[in-house]
Amino acid sequence: MEGEEDESRFVDVVPAAGGAPRRIAFRRRSAQGAGALRPGVVFLGGFASDMCGSKASFLDEWAQREGRGLLRFDYSGHGESSGRFEDGTIGSWLEDSLAVFDAATVGPQILVGTSMGGWIALLLTQRLVASGRRPHALVLIAPAVDFTEELLWKSADAQARQAILERGVWPRPSRYAPEPTPITRALIEEGRAHLLMRGLIRTHAPVHILQGMQDEDVPYAHALRLVDRLSADPVTLSLIVDGDHRLSRPQDLDHLVATLEALG
């Protein structure tokens, strides 16, 4: 019997800093048959994307065929979850991730983080390890670790920085949507409390990075720097010479599945 997925369910997240609870939507596909003997998969999406995007949907179809457990969800201000996108920060989206992980997973899990989700996956791993747990493995797709500082703030011109500091938001043009993406002062400043690339990053688990060399959003040099920071744990870096940021072509998705199957 193929794995069955619930309709969207919700978990309420009470912010550590206070304020109204956030209602976070998730979908969980239960493991079946031989798939129940293998680790589950937790998908952590990218900045301004949701759990029905191309990679998440492809992994759900794969999990259904293979009887694998799969968890996917929307950060606050994304998709079916409550809240405004502009109010989100790395810290709040990390809280969302930990709450859903605790509410909807049992047993070993492979964390799959794409773009910003790669950063969240590493931060989530730190929280898990601190509580005596650890993921089975991590798969990071074009991981945008520290992107608020390294890939947004440092590359922003004077006009963009002025908008962020004085007006609190910069409408950044997007190559993926007709409307600009709001980059807030809170996102930049709160992100500095979660920077990882300035020291050793421990996962206590195998890490496999998939990185396109034609990526215009997260240059592959950024992935090379990340490998240096992960040097205390087993790390594999796969550079896709003609791959872009999304890595959503059929061959890219097949590579992702092959990587997951090799990890457990």
Q: Could you confirm whether 155 is annotated as catalytic?
A: no
Residue 107 lies in a domain: yes
Q: Give the model's pLDDT for residue 49.
A: 96
Residue 127 lies in a domain: yes
Q: Could you confirm whether 245 is annotated as catalytic?
A: yes
SS3 state at 234:
coil
Binned at pLDDT 50, 70 and 90, residue 177 comes out as confident
**CA atoms of 203 and 130, how far apart (whole Å):** 11
What are the angstrom distances between the C-alpha of 141 and each of 35, 39, 117, 256?
A: 23, 19, 8, 9
Residue 3 lies in a domain: no
Residue 1 lies in a domain: no
Q: Could you confirm whether 81 is annotated as catalytic?
A: no
**Of the residues 74, 96, 146, 215, which is catalytic?**
215
Q: What is the pTM of this model?
A: 0.96
Q: Does residue 103 register a pLDDT over 50?
A: yes
Edge to edge, the sheet with strand 70-73 lists 9-13, 22-29, 70-73, 40-44, 109-114, 137-141, 207-212, 235-240
Domain enclosing residue 64, as ranges: 9-263
Mean pLDDT, rounded, for 123-134:
97
Residue-wise pLDDT tens digits, 153-164: 999 999 999 999
Residue 4 lies in a domain: no
**Of the residues 49, 76, 81, 115, which is catalytic?**
115
Residue 189 lies in a domain: yes
**Of the residues 78, 194, 222, 245, which is catalytic?**
245
Q: What tokens appear for 86 in the block?
A: 């502009």
**Residue 85 maps to which CATH number?**
3.40.50.1820
Residue-wise pLDDT tens digits, 136-147: 999 999 999 999
The total number of structural domains in the chain stands at 1
Residue 248 lies in a domain: yes
Residue-wise pLDDT tens digits, 190-202: 999 999 999 999 9
Q: Over the chain, what is the mean pLDDT?
A: 96
